[in-house]
Amino acid sequence: VFIPLAILGIQWQHDRSQSQQLVQQQIEKAVSEAQMQEQSKRLATQAQFLAMLMHEVKTPLSIIQFAVASMLRNRPPSSADAQRLDNIARAADDLNFIIDQCMEAEKVEQSDVPAKKAPVSLSSLISEMKQIPGYERVTLIGFDRIMVLTARIILSNLVTNALKYSWPESSVQLTVEPVHLGSTSGMNLRVSNTIGSAGRPDPLQVFTRYYRAEGAKKQMGAGLGLWLAHQLATKLGTELRCTCDDEWVHFEFTLERS
C-alpha cells in the first residue's frame, strides 16, 4: 500500500517541480521580450531625436557659412577680420562634416541591405576628392581611367583622414594597382600618409566606432570616418586594411573592375 503511494508522491512532486520551472521560464521569457521591445522603442525614439537634431543644427550652420562667405568677399585676405572669419568658416565646416558622418553612420547602422555595386570611373571618384580642403597635397600613383564599383564615401573618408592627421604640407599618396580576384580582375586602392603629431593609430582598434588615438583628440572629430568606411567596404564585399611602418600609415581595399 505504502510503496504505490510513495511512488505517486514522488511523481507528483516531480510534475510539480517541472510545472514550476516551466512557469518560471515563461515569466523570464515574457520579461525578456518586454525589455527588448522597450529597448527597441527607446532606440527608435533616440534615433528619431538625433535625426531631428542634426537636421535642425545644419540649418543655422548653413546660414553661418553663407554669412561668413559674404563677409569675406568684402575683406582683404590678409586682414585680421578675414583671418577670424576664415577660422569661423573652418569651424562650421568641421561641424557640418561631423554631422554628415553621424547621419551616414545612422543610415548604415539602420540598414542591413548590401551597398549597391554601381559602376563608376575612378577618374570621376578622384575628381570629387578635389573638393576636400588640402587636396592639392594628394599624389595619384597608377591608373585613373578605369571603371570600378562605387566607393565614394570610403575613398573620401580615407583621403580626408590622411590629410587631417598627416604632417602639414606633406604628401598624401593615392596608389591604384591591378590585382587578380580569382576569375575576375580588380584594382587595389591604397591611401598613404606620413605619421603626424597624432601618432601611429592602433591597427587593431582603428576601425572601432568612436575610436580615436590619444594624440588625435586634439583635433575635432567623432571617430566615425574609418568605422563608416570599414562598414561600407564590408557591404561592398571587400575588406579595409590598415598597416603602419616607421613613417607611413596605409589604408587599402580592393574593388572589382566593372
For the chain, helix, strand, coil in percent to 5 are 55, 20, 25
Residues 6+ apart with CB under 8 A from 116: 150
Give the CA distances from residue 185 to residues 37, 179, 236, in Å, rounded to whole numbers and listed in that order.
Answer: 46, 6, 16
Name which residue leads in pLDDT, 164 or 218. 164
The model's pLDDT over 233-242, given as tens digits with 9 standing for 90+, comes to 888 788 899 9
Using the 8-state DSSP alphabet, how is residue 24 labeled? H
* pLDDT range class, residue 251, cuts 50, 70, 90: very high
CB atoms within 10 A of CB 230: 22
Query: Among all chains, which residue has been given the C-alpha cell 578635389?
Result: 130
- The bridge status of strand 147-149 relative to strand 184-194 is unpaired
The model's pLDDT over 211-225, given as tens digits with 9 standing for 90+, comes to 877 777 777 777 788
